[in-house]
């Protein structure tokens, strides 16, 4: 178990309904459909993207992030289709401390179908079993009830609130922190 395996070739993961693969330049339009939706972006304290060029630039930054070994960013597709409907990722990777932060977003047309629980479960299993992570963290904003519900469903523990941590739209947002340890994951 070593983090090196993920940076030798990008890991493709499959679940019962989904395929998680590396984001490609040809995914720009599908990503823009997700990242331009205010209802998807606002719970993360992010403004919607305004142009396809922003998605193209974002995809380029993902490649650079991977090359620096700073993160893994999967595009989520249905097994029988290759169109990206969402994404999930590990970022803030710490090889020294064997931990990472998880993030995710999903096209609104696919909400409330268990897709994100299935996708994030797959990357959690990969992180703990293949990469040797000891801890995986998440930090949703206080108003993001769907994200908090997902994290609790997956076994994360609420660990505290960072008050007024992020400035968004002329005010500060509180950010909650959740953590999941490898032994908690494996005992589920």
25-77 per-position pLDDT tens digit: 999 999 999 999 999 988 777 889 999 999 999 999 999 999 999 999 999 99
What's the pTM? 0.94
Distance CA 186, CA 188 (A): 6
Extended strands (E) in the chain = 13-14, 18-22, 72-78, 86-94, 99-106, 135-138, 157-168, 171-181
Q: For residue 30, is it within any domain?
A: yes
Residue that wins the pLDDT comparison between 186 and 169: 186
In a domain, 130, yes or no: yes
79, pLDDT greater than 80 = yes
**Is position 13 within any domain?**
yes
The reply to whether 129 falls in a domain is yes
Are the C-beta atoms of 164 and 173 separated by less than 8 Å? yes
Listed residue (140, 136, 106, 138) closest to 124, CA to CA: 136
Residue 85 lies in a domain: yes
Q: Tell me, yes or no, whether 48 lies in a domain.
A: yes
Token duo for residue 183: 């032994």
Please name the helix (run of DSSP H) or strand (run of DSSP E) that holds residue 182, with its range, or none.
helix 182-186
The answer to whether position 115 is within a domain reads: yes
CATH of the domain at 28: 3.40.630.30
Work out the pLDDT band at 139, boundaries 50, 70, 90.
very high
- What is the domain count for the chain? 1
Report yes or no on 182 lying in a domain. no
The domain in which residue 20 lies consists of: 3-137
């Amino acid at each position: 178990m070593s983090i090196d395996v993920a940076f030798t070739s990008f890991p493709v993961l499959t679940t019962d309904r989904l395929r998680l693969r590396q984001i490609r330049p040809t995914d720009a339009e599908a990503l823009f459909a997700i990242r331009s939706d205010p209802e998807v972006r606002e719970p993360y304290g992010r403004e919607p993207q305004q142009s396809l060029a922003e998605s193209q630039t974002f995809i380029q930054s993902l490649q650079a992030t991977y090359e620096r070994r700073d993160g893994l960013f999967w595009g989520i597709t249905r097994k029988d289709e290759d169109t990206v409907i969402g994404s999930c990722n590990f970022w803030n990777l710490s090889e020294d401390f064997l931990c990472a932060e998880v993030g995710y977003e999903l096209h609104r047309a696919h909400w409330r179908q268990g897709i994100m629980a299935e996708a994030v479960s797959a990357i959690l299993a990969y992180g703990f079993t293949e990469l040797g992570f000891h801890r995986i963290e998440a930090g949703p904003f206080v108003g993001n009830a769907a994200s908090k519900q997902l994290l609790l469903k997956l076994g994360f523990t609420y660990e505290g609130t960072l008050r007024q941590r992020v400035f968004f739209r002329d005010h500060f947002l509180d950010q909650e922190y959740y953590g999941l340890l490898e032994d908690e994951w494996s005992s589920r």
